[in-house]
Amino acid sequence: MPMISENWAEQLEPGLRKIFDLAGKKEKDYLGLMYNVENSTKAQETNQGIGDLGLMEEWSATGNKVAYEDIKKGYTSNYIHRKYSKGTQIERELVDDEQYGEIKKRVKNLRMVEYRTIQYHAALPFNNAFNASFKGPDNVALCSASHPKAPGSTAVTSNFGAYALTADNVTTVRNNMRRWEDDKANQFLVMPDTIVVPTEGLEPALVIAGTDEKPGTTDHGINVWKGKFNVIEWPWLTDPDVWFKH
């Protein structure tokens, strides 16, 4: 995902810059909720994935010596930092006539444009999660039934699912995630605790995560997922039927 730079606002006058910095502070920033955000002074950052180790081996079976094992390289992720810009013109007459209210409105609009740009790009990988042309480091989509477990490996794992948002399907997805394995067939033991939904999915998600009785049944069974999941409504998700678990 491209990183967003604020350098386009660096030419603002000090007073206008203060307005810019304060504007839009009440808007919810989903970037920090969905990603681990780090600062960088480089034009590009690279992460190198590494494989795992298998189980320990019995001492006598290895000739009474330590059984060493090579760790294979994983996939490489490149983060290319791009610069974005947007400006607005302020007529000299507004300054001469001390029309600071109008000037403030325009500067605040710039801040909102920056906010929207950041949120749009933050949601872009998720809005293209099932798009085979929108590939990640392993050369498949974010949600795919054929994620290679390691470079060159024929073993694959799946995080793909076309499930409606129901309590039973939350169980199915959670069980699948708990069975994910690494390149040495070790279970990741992923513990999902959050359901991410578009605006249209907020109500069913809150029902699943917050009611006493199991949703969708008439036998008054206990809802085992009550209080087990956080719910994040992400209005920048464009597909009303999609939902994610992490």
Residue 85: count of CB within 10 angstroms of its CB = 8
Residues 118 and 218 reside in one and the same domain: no
* Tokens 């007459």, located at residue: 93
Residues 177 and 235 reside in one and the same domain: yes
Domain-embedded: residue 190? yes
Domain-embedded: residue 84? yes
Residues 192 and 87 reside in one and the same domain: no
Report which of residues 70 and 98 the model is more confident about.
70
According to the model, what pLDDT value does residue 198 have? 97
Q: How many CA atoms lie within 13 A of 143 on its CB side?
A: 18
Residues 25 and 119 reside in one and the same domain: yes
Distance CA 15, CA 13 (A): 6
Domain-embedded: residue 62? no
Residues 36-59 have pLDDT tens digits of 888 888 888 888 988 889 889 999
According to the model, what pLDDT value does residue 159 have? 95
Q: Sheet holding 230-233: strands in order across? A: 230-233, 194-197, 244-245
Domain-embedded: residue 133? no
54-80 burial, b for 16+ CB within 10 Å, e for fewer? eeeeeeeeeeeeeeeeeeeebbeeeee
According to the model, what pLDDT value does residue 22 have? 61
Judging by DSSP bridges, how do beta strands 230-233 and 244-245 pair with one another?
Answer: unpaired
Residues 14 and 119 reside in one and the same domain: yes
Per the CB < 8 A criterion, the answer to whether 100 and 11 are in contact is: no
Distance CA 205, CA 236 (A): 17
According to the model, what pLDDT value does residue 12 have? 53
Residues 149-193 have pLDDT tens digits of 999 889 999 999 999 999 999 999 999 999 999 998 899 889 999
* Tokens 């997922």, located at residue: 225
Report in angstroms the alpha-carbon separations of 67 from 38, 74, 103, 109.
Answer: 37, 22, 70, 62
pTM: 0.82
Domain-embedded: residue 94? yes
- Which range marks the domain in which residue 208 is found? 161-245
For residue 120, how far is the Cα from the chain centroid? 12
Closest Cα partner for 81 from 110, 112, 46? Answer: 46
Per the CB < 8 A criterion, the answer to whether 74 and 151 are in contact is: yes
- Counting the structural domains of the chain, the total is 2
Residues 14 and 115 reside in one and the same domain: yes
State percent of the chain over pLDDT 70. 84
Domain-embedded: residue 233? yes
Closest Cα partner for 2 from 83, 105, 107? Answer: 83
Domain-embedded: residue 184? yes
For residue 32, how far is the Cα from the chain centroid? 9
